[in-house]
Amino acid sequence: MIELKKSTDFAGPEGPVVLVIMDGVGIGRNPESDFVKQAETPNLNWLHDNALYTELRAHGVAVGLPDDGDMGNSEVGHNAIGCGRVFEQGAALVGKAIASGAMYAAGSVWQQLVANVIAKSSTLHFIGLFSDGNVHSNLNHLESMLRTAKQQGVKKARIHALIDGRDVPPTSALEYVERFDAFLNEINADGSVDYCVASGGGRMNITMDRYNADWDMVKRGWATHVKAEGRTFTSMQEAVETFRTENPGILDQDLPPFVIVRDGKPAGPIVDGDSVIFFNFRGDRALEITKAFEADELTEFDRGTKPDVLYAGMMQYDGDLDVPKLYLVTPPAIDRTMSEYLSSAGVTQLAISETQKFGHMTYFFNGNNSGKFATETWQEIASDNCPFEDAPRMKADEITDVVVQAIESGAYKFIRLNFPNGDMVGHTGVVSAVKLAVEAVDENLGKIIAALKKTNGILVCSADHGNADDMYELDKKTGGLVLDKQGHYKSKTAHSLNPVPAIVYDPSGAAKAHLVDVPKAGIASLAATCLTLLGYEPPADYAASLVKVG
């Protein structure tokens, strides 16, 4: 059994410690692109000047990604915050498994998938995010798998491309299409294999729903990828160009579904005997399509007759649920999370967010564990099912109402919450809405501060990564803003590489906390910080606390 030692310097506050994750709220480098800076944020400004304030790394190696050119994301960010340590994450693990050849080794799941299609003269299908954003997937992984499939005798492969525009520039699809068409031309050149794109669509239109927010997305994806039902085109390039002509200004993530045809027939429906790989390594937007392939009974939509296929994920997306049953790369084994330690100490905990980030405050925060620890209460506020730019406040008010009541009730000693606004609205690229989203977070942060003043609690406020702080493309060399052909600032919808704020506010002063210097501090230090403020000694291998008390 894991145990926490009580601190001899501080017994913990009278009220709760409240950890606020302002999703996607970083510290921008260019004021014109920084819509956190441009928003009216009197509470954050006051905390900057009057509370303990520092900055944390939330991308690259600080959160377990391969290098510091990799943007952080909500999954790895909440892993790091919740477990207090840095584990190698999906992109790094998959990259190593490919580079070493371990993913393709004898006896591997890969070999099962390949043997299946060779024995049955059937098709190997790949479904996944079509970019090199390295957040959910990487096109390099797909290309490696296709090269290996050819080497190992797979004659027919079909790709079902989910177009990105969130983790990469919002209208960059054709850059990836051109690259991949050249790759396919090369791999098909000797006539020994037949590899092509069979279907696709924007990632926010089909297939990649999460947290059961909109199963119609999965239904559309199933119809497109599996049944090959939908609007037809002769190439992915034709589909993208047509949709852009018909709807000028449409972002890649919103592109409608399409089916590729050859000689008037769909190029690649998924049928009995095929093998299917969902090549995203990140789990949240992989679970629902995986359920559609694996569940014997499915109530969320009518999928028709489920084809008898061998299905695998790039990684296991939920270890507790054993989903999927087959996977190519083993995910990081994350243990001894802050939640588990606090539960073992009998500390009552509340985890809350709205649907869009509820799984991050629970599943990901707890080390990719879908089960609650004994002293935890989880509460989900249902997200609106509408474009986020149309309702930029999202459910910040409703989350705060519950949190304030929880603070004042005295029922919980540790409360953690996520305001998704800065990230989810940031991804839309609609800067007027982003400004309102950040202002909603700030307004509700003020209500939480007021409740903590009444109860002598302590606030810890930070973010999992940036987004709203970097809404226009910046020139990598000069740092200046990039203009589009019309002379407007070029929109950016991906996460930033910027640091995030870390704030500790103790209204009563009981903790006598002061900042300590933690070299290259990352968001993993938030766990030890919260444990210290709760009156415990953090585990020795946790990233160092940002504060000392007493």
Radius of gyration over alpha carbons of the chain, in Å? Answer: 24
User: Is 495 known to sit in a ligand binding site?
Assistant: yes
User: Is 23 known to sit in a ligand binding site?
Assistant: yes
Residue that has been written with the tokens 């994920």 in this structure = 313
How far apart are the two ends of the chain, measured CA to CA in Å?
Answer: 29
Nearest to 26 by CA among 428, 525, 463: 463
Strand partners, 128: 161
Nearest to 418 by CA among 25, 8, 52, 1: 25
User: Is 167 known to sit in a ligand binding site?
Assistant: yes
Separation of alpha carbons 19 and 21, rounded Å? 6
User: Both tokens of residue 74?
Assistant: 């909500």
Separation of alpha carbons 405 and 371, rounded Å? 25
Active-site annotation holds for 74 = yes
User: Both tokens of residue 288?
Assistant: 């629902």
Please tell me whether residue 280 adopts helix, strand or coil conformation: coil
| φ, ψ for residue 106, nearest 5 deg | -55, 135
Separation of alpha carbons 169 and 388, rounded Å? 19
* Conformation bin of residue 506: beta by default, left when phi > 0, alpha when psi is -120 to 50: beta
Please tell me whether residue 23 adopts helix, strand or coil conformation: coil
User: Is 395 known to sit in a ligand binding site?
Assistant: no
| φ, ψ for residue 286, nearest 5 deg | -110, -20
Total residues found in the chain within this entry: 550
Neighbours of 55 (CB within 10 A): 14
Q: Which residues contact 228 (CB under 8 A, 6 or more apart)?
A: 198, 199, 259, 266, 267, 268, 269
User: Is 285 known to sit in a ligand binding site?
Assistant: yes
Residue 66: DSSP 8-state: S
Cα atoms in the 13 Å half-sphere on the side-chain side of 30: 18
Nearest to 45 by CA among 442, 420, 505: 442
- Sequence letter at residue 517: D
Helices (H) and strands (E) in the chain, counts: 15, 20
Question: Which of 7, 33, 74, 131 is flagged as catalytic?
Answer: 74
User: Is 357 known to sit in a ligand binding site?
Assistant: yes
Q: Measured between alpha carbons, how far is residue 32 from residues 288, 424, 440, 498 in Å?
A: 38, 20, 20, 15
User: Is 423 known to sit in a ligand binding site?
Assistant: yes
User: Is 427 known to sit in a ligand binding site?
Assistant: yes
Separation of alpha carbons 153 and 114, rounded Å? 8
User: Is 74 known to sit in a ligand binding site?
Assistant: yes
Strand partners, 514: 548
User: Is 166 known to sit in a ligand binding site?
Assistant: yes
Separation of alpha carbons 387 and 380, rounded Å? 19
Residue that has been written with the tokens 């592109």 in this structure = 255
User: Is 465 known to sit in a ligand binding site?
Assistant: yes
Specify whether the CB–CB gap between 547 and 515 falls below 8 A.
yes
- The per-residue DSSP string of 363-374 comes to IITTTS--SPPT
User: Is 203 known to sit in a ligand binding site?
Assistant: yes
* Buried/exposed code over 283-293 (b: 16+ C-beta within 10 A; e: otherwise): bbbbbbbbbbb
Residues making up the annotated binding site are 23, 74, 136, 166-167, 203, 210, 282-285, 357, 423, 427, 464-465, 495
Give the catalytic positions in this structure.
74
Residues making up the annotated binding site for Mn(2+) are 23, 74, 423, 427, 464-465, 495
Residues making up the annotated binding site for substrate are 136, 166-167, 203, 210, 282-285, 357
